[in-house]
Structure 1
Amino acid sequence: MRPVEEPLTGNVTAGIVRVGDTVRRPVGPYTHAVDALLHHLHEVGFTGAPRPFGRDEQGRQVLEYVPGESTMDIDPRDLPDLGRLLRDLHTATAEFTPPADAGWHTEIPPVGVPGSPVGEVFCHHDAAPWNLVRAERGWVLIDWDNAGPGARAWELAYSALTCCGMRPDRPVEESAARLRSFVDGYGLEPGLRPALAGLLGVNAGAMYDLLATGAREGRQPWARIYTEDGPFWRGVAAYLADHRAAWASALAE
């Protein structure tokens, strides 16, 4: 008897199913490299990622299914822990040596700054509420298809603006407090904090550009997401750029 396949619900990549205590995903040219990264993370004791289990009889990627709770509205009390999760990830990947034939699939090219250049670590590149699960062992990041070489400051900016819910309908003071809590949890050194304040708007703008380009070219899922969320991301980018001084002040306190 073939195992039962359960399509995963929500805004997930087409073709992803659950089979027992595993997840099966379509493979791409980057999957071999992603598996190598996930193996490394498991070997060094990082628990915030699913374990890779190779391929199934259909050639699909097989990963650990991580049961737990997901939410799009992160409790501010959880922000320091999420910051530490990201710092632990970057510490764990700093010593990762990718396969010689590694290929990566990073939709938004990372931007580096002095002290945090592109290539210093390997990043998840979509560490946001929609890819976080609160499991028994703690927070776990899922959906690693966009992983690849990156910069700590760039990934921290994206995760901060998404996990902290930094958006135009939230008072600047509240967003600033959430940002400080997240970044303190990460333990970002003082020298990088001014640059991080400036990267927030740039990062959100890059997300908007990805969606807008996808809409013009008819690329999915970006065209659909642009229709649903394009104005939201444009507004977030403007909000973050307009209040850069407030973010810098909060991070310098």
Structure 2
Amino acid sequence: MNNASQVQDKPLAGRIAVVTGASSGIGAASAKLLAQKGAKVAVLARRKDKLAQLVEEISAAGGTAIAIEVDVTDQESVDKAAAKVVTTFGRADLVFNNAGVMLPGAIEERKLEEWDSQIDLNVTGLMRVIHAFIPQLTQAAAEGATVDLINTSSIAGQYIYPYFAVYSATKAYVSHLTRHMRVELGAKNVRVSMIEPGIVATELQGHVTFQGAKDWLANAKETIEFLQPEDVAQVVGFLAGLPKHVNLQQVVVMPTKQGI
């Protein structure tokens, strides 16, 4: 295989990627795709057994990955993960900030614990990852590398959905944060992007207990072919593979039949 063919086959060769929320769904699918494209991938999540299985699958397919058990609601845990990435692979130049939780419910039920859980994971957890990895990303950019910080938001951050008030608010935070960060970090050659998916067939829906939201999702499934995690992973791979001077700030990816 000549050099041109190698570049085409492994366009992310030499890059070091970090994927949070990697134990299932969009995170796992994205980790596989990034490894397939040649990146060394650190997969981060709480479920160690799932991560080990993911690393085995990536290795069996010819990729390179390490599993790091991490809780993004704990800054020390995230900081230790960031340090392990450096000692194992070197400094990261691609962070897919993807960990999150969706717990819809009626505001009148006043489930403060569920509100706190979504805010701590979707907002503060996202910030903890940024806090831990920004030094690596800015260093990589200063050294001339192509660098990406990709945040997982949601179409729910733009539109109104019944019983999704708190979740939607956390995702609106992610989207607006990303816009502001791009202004600051883009000048330093760090590309900052957000992906805002519509309905994706992932474990998140299995966490839903509120009947109104379960009915809404069930009705949607009757008329809409949901996105698959691999569909969103393709977007992650596309963003990372763009020319260094090109930054797509916001990508909305929806099932064809989902209007809003």
TM-score, normalized by length of structure 2? 0.28
**Structure with higher helix content:** 2
* Relative contact order, higher structure (CA 8 A, sep 6+): 2
Q: TM-score, normalised by structure 1?
A: 0.29
